[in-house]
Structure 1
Amino acid sequence: MRAVRWPDVEGKGNAHVPESERDRRVRYLRAWAQAIGGGVREDDAAAVVRRVFAVQAQDATAARLGIRARSRAVDGEAVRVAYEDDRSIVRGWFMRGTLHTVPAPDVRWLLRLLGPRLLRAGERRYRELELDEALRERADDLLKRAVTTHGPLTRAELTERLAPLGVPPTGQAAFHLIRHAALRGILVHGPERAEGEYAGEATFVLLDDWLLDDWLPDAGAAFPEDAAAELARRYLKAYAPADAADFAAWAGLPAGVARTAWRALADAGASAEYAGLTVPARRATQDADETDTPDVRLLPAYDNYFTGYRTRELSVPAAHEKRVWPGGGVLRPTVTVDGLAVATWSRQVTKEAADVRVEPFAPLSREVRDGLAEETAAVSRFLRPE
C-alpha cells in the first residue's frame, strides 16, 4: 500500500501538484471518506450510515444496495434488522427534502433544522393542491390517530384514511399531507409490510413510538447548539475534500446559511485547507492508505456519492456523463473504480436468480474485471440470497 499524505493545516505542499494529480487525489480521498475506495468497508449497516451520515433513499432497494457497497458481507436481512429491530437507522425526508437514511440519534435535530425550511418551501405546492393550513393541521391529527389506532400503515392505507377530509385518492395531495406530517416530526418510515396486499411496501409509524429510548434526547442535550454547523461538520467528515458550495447543494440550505456554517467550522479550528478545498482538521496530518489494487464498487441508482457535490466533474468523465445522468432526474446505477465512474449497470431479479449486467464506458483492465466479478457476485447474492 502507498500512503497519500494529507497536507498540514496550512495546506503547504499543494501549490505544485499538477491539476490531474490534484483531481485524482481529491477523488480518491472523497471515495475513501465515502467508504467506496481505499479498501474501506464498514462492519455493519449502522456503521455505514454513521460514516456517510445519510444514504440517499428515495428508492428503498437502492438504499440497501448503497449500504451493501460500503460494508463487509452485510446481507439484506442485516439491513432489515438495522432498520426494524435495532432501529439504529431511520428513513425519512431530510436533506433537500429527499428521502435519506440517517442515524437514529440524529433524526430529531435534523427535523428541527430542516423541517420548517422544507415546509415553507412547500407552501406554493400546498396552494396549488388547495391544501390550506387548517386542512394540513386536520390531516396531521387524523394521520396520527390512524397510526395510533391501527399501527404501521402504508401510503395507500393512509390515503384511504384522508378521504373524510375530501382528499382525493389519486394525485399528489395525499402524498404531500403524509410528507407534511413527517416533516413535523409526527410520522416516520417504519417496517416494510411483511405480507398481504401491500407486502414489501414501506409503512409509516409514529416517530415518538419508533425511536427507541436510547435515541431520545435528555432535556434537549442531544440537540446541537448550532445545528447548521453540526450538519456542516457531518458533511465534511463524510464528503471531504469539499467546499461550502458543495455543502449547500447537498444539504439544500440557502447559500448564506451554508457559508456561515462552513465558516463556523474554520473559526472553531475544525477544518483545514486541502488543494483549494476543505477537510476536517484532524485529517490534516493523517495518512489515507491508497491500495495498489483497483477498488471496484457497484453503486446503486441515486447514490449519495454522486449527489453529494455541486458538480460531478471529478467522479464521472464528461464524455460519459449522459450515460450516468440521462435526464429526467434519473441517476443510473454506476460502477466506480477508486471513485471514478467506469460503467453503468442494471439488474434483473427473478425467483431463480439476480442477474447483473454491466455496460463499460471503455475496455477495462484485467484487475478491474476481477474486482467487477467479485462485486457482481456479491450484488447477486444480496438481491437473491440462496
Structure 2
Amino acid sequence: MDVLSQTIANQRLYNQRITGMKHVSPVEVVRELGAVQAQDYHQAVWGIGLRAQSAKLSDVEQALNDRKIVLTWPMRGTIFFVPAEDTKWMLKLTESRFLTNDKKKQAELELDGSTLHRCRTLISDALSGCTPVSRPRLMELLEDAGISTKNGRGYYILGYLGRTGMICFGPHEGKQQSFVLLDEWVPNLRELTLEESLAELALRYFTGHGPATVQDFAWWVGLTLTDAKRGFEAVKSDLRLDFVNGTEYWSSVAGSAASADTDSVVLLPGFDEYYLGYKDRSAIIESEHDAQIAPFRNGIFQPIMVAGGEVVGIWKREIKRSGIEITLSPFSPLGHREEAFREAAKHYSDFMGLPITRIES
C-alpha cells in the first residue's frame, strides 16, 4: 500500500469510527454514516456494533425494537439500516430510479397493477394495528388468496412494498424476520424536499465516509451523477477538498485528522461500509485480491480482514451451541499480525456474547 492510499485508508477508518473515538450508541453509528448496508442482517449488526462504545448484539437489536433504527430498502434497491425518522424521505429520494426496472420485473413475474393492489390490501390488513407478521406467514397469506409467491414473486412483492414506503422490517420472531407497516411503526417521519434530501444525505455521506469522491456518493445511493452533484454542491462549503493523484476527495471540515498509525487490525463484516461504501476501492485493496471478496459473482460479499487500512484477507464464522468457530483466510502469511487478529476475533465474540471455541488460519 503506497503512502497516499494509506492516508486515505487511515482517514476512512477514523471517520467511520472503526478506529479512534467510537460512537456512544448504535443509533449514532447509523445516523452519522447516513445508512448502513444490511444485505446480511447477522453481518450488519456487527458492522454497527464495532463502531459503538462497548456495544453488544442486544444493544443493536434493542435499537431496532425501540424503533430508533429501521431496516428497509432505501438505496440501490437493497437493504440498509437507517435512522427511523429519516426512512420516508430516503425512500422517496431513490424511488423513481427503480420505476423502469420495476415495470420490466413485474412483466417478467406476471404481476399486473391489479395483482399488486390486491397484495397491498391483503398485507396492509394483516399488518394493521402495528402487528408484526413473519415472512413465511405473509407468503402463506398471499398463496391462500391465489397469488403465487413462487419463482421470486413473493420476495419481489415484499421488496416492492418496502421500496415504495408501505412496509419495513419489524422485530425478529425467533429466527424469522417480520414486517410491519412503516407509518404505524414509525409515526413521526420527517418530510424533506428533494433538494433538502440530496443535501442532507450528501453531508452525512462525506462526514461518515470521507475522504470520498462525488462518484462514490452517487454509486452508494444509486443516484444519477447529476443529482449527486446537486446534493454535493449544496453542502460543498461544509466540506474539505484533498487532491490525491489528481482526484478530488471530500470530507467534512468539522472532522479531525486521523493519526498516522498503520497497525490497526480489525475483522469487518461482509457488505461493510468500509468496502461497499465506495465505487472505487483501490485505496484499500490490491486489484489482484478484489475478486476474492465476492468470489461467486452472486452479489454475496465475504467478511474482510483489515490491517493498517488495507484489506488483507477474508474470514468466516460458524456459530454453534458451544460458541463461535472462526476461520481466517489471509491473502498472505500474517506474521506478527496473527495475534492481533486473534484479539480482533475476541472483540467479535464479546459483541456476540459467545466464547470462541476455535480459531483457524
The reply to whether TM is greater than 0.5 is yes
For the Cα contact (< 8 Å) 2:195–2:231, is it kept in 1?
A: no
Query: 1: distance between equivalents of 2:208 and 2:265?
Result: 19
1:349-385 per-residue CA deviation (whole Å, 9 max, x = no partner) reads 110010111112223353x334312210122233353
Query: 2: distance between equivalents of 1:40 and 1:280?
Result: 17
Give the Å deviation of 1:123. 1.3
Tell me whether 1:202 sits opposite 2:177 in the alignment: yes
For the Cα contact (< 8 Å) 1:136–1:180, is it kept in 2?
A: no
1:210 maps to amino acid:
W
**What 5-or-longer segments of structure 2 have no aligned partner?**
356-361
For the Cα contact (< 8 Å) 1:347–1:357, is it kept in 2?
A: yes
1:204-231 per-residue CA deviation (whole Å, 9 max, x = no partner) reads 01112211x5x434xx4x6574312322
Q: State the secondary structure of the residue aligned to 1:162.
A: helix
**What 5-or-longer segments of structure 1 have no aligned partner?**
1-18, 194-198
Q: 1:191 aligns with which of 171, 177, 182?
A: 171
Give the Å deviation of 1:290. 1.1
1:324-359 per-residue CA deviation (whole Å, 9 max, x = no partner) reads 221322211101123211121111111001011111
Equivalent residue, structure 2, for 1:320:
289
Equivalent residue, structure 2, for 1:262:
232
1:56 maps to amino acid:
Q
Give the Å deviation of 1:202. 0.6
Query: 2: distance between equivalents of 1:56 and 1:122?
Result: 21
Equivalent residue, structure 2, for 1:273:
241
Query: 1: distance between equivalents of 2:41 and 2:242?
Result: 35
Q: 2:315 aligns with which of 345, 356, 372?
A: 345
Give the Å deviation of 1:120. 4.1
Q: 2:11 aligns with which of 29, 34, 39?
A: 29
Give the Å deviation of 1:51. 2.4
Equivalent residue, structure 2, for 1:216:
189
Query: 1: distance between equivalents of 2:346 and 2:252?
Result: 38
Equivalent residue, structure 2, for 1:331:
301
Equivalent residue, structure 2, for 1:106:
86
For the Cα contact (< 8 Å) 2:73–2:162, is it kept in 1?
A: yes
Give the Å deviation of 1:62. 0.7
1:299 maps to amino acid:
L
Count of residue pairs brought into register by the alignment = 351
Query: 2: distance between equivalents of 1:344 and 1:255?
Result: 32
1:227-251 per-residue CA deviation (whole Å, 9 max, x = no partner) reads 1232222211121111121111111
Which 10-residue stretch deviates more, 357-366 or 235-244? 357-366
Give the Å deviation of 1:66. 0.9
Tell me whether 1:64 sits opposite 2:45 in the alignment: yes
For the Cα contact (< 8 Å) 2:271–2:303, is it kept in 1?
A: yes
Give the Å deviation of 1:289. 3.4
Give the Å deviation of 1:288. 1.5
Q: State the secondary structure of the residue aligned to 1:191.
A: strand
Distance 1:274 1:292, change over 3 A: closer
Q: State the secondary structure of the residue aligned to 2:278.
A: coil
Tell me whether 1:306 sits opposite 2:286 in the alignment: no
Distance 1:290 1:160, change over 3 A: same
Equivalent residue, structure 2, for 1:54:
35
Q: 1:76 aligns with which of 57, 69, 74?
A: 57
Give the Å deviation of 1:104. 1.1
Query: 2: distance between equivalents of 1:270 and 1:93?
Result: 28
Equivalent residue, structure 1, for 2:359:
none
Give the Å deviation of 1:41. 2.2
Query: 2: distance between equivalents of 1:246 and 1:174?
Result: 32
2:189 maps to amino acid:
L
Equivalent residue, structure 1, for 2:134:
154
Give the Å deviation of 1:182. 1.4
Give the Å deviation of 1:137. 1.9
Give the Å deviation of 1:149. 6.4
Which 10-residue stretch deviates more, 307-316 or 147-156? 147-156
For the Cα contact (< 8 Å) 1:349–1:384, is it kept in 2?
A: no
Query: 1: distance between equivalents of 2:319 and 2:217?
Result: 36
Equivalent residue, structure 2, for 1:44:
25
Q: Percent identity?
A: 30
Which 10-residue stretch deviates more, 145-154 or 307-316? 145-154
Give the Å deviation of 1:60. 0.8
RMSD: 2.2
TM (norm. structure 1) is 0.84
For the Cα contact (< 8 Å) 2:75–2:91, is it kept in 1?
A: no
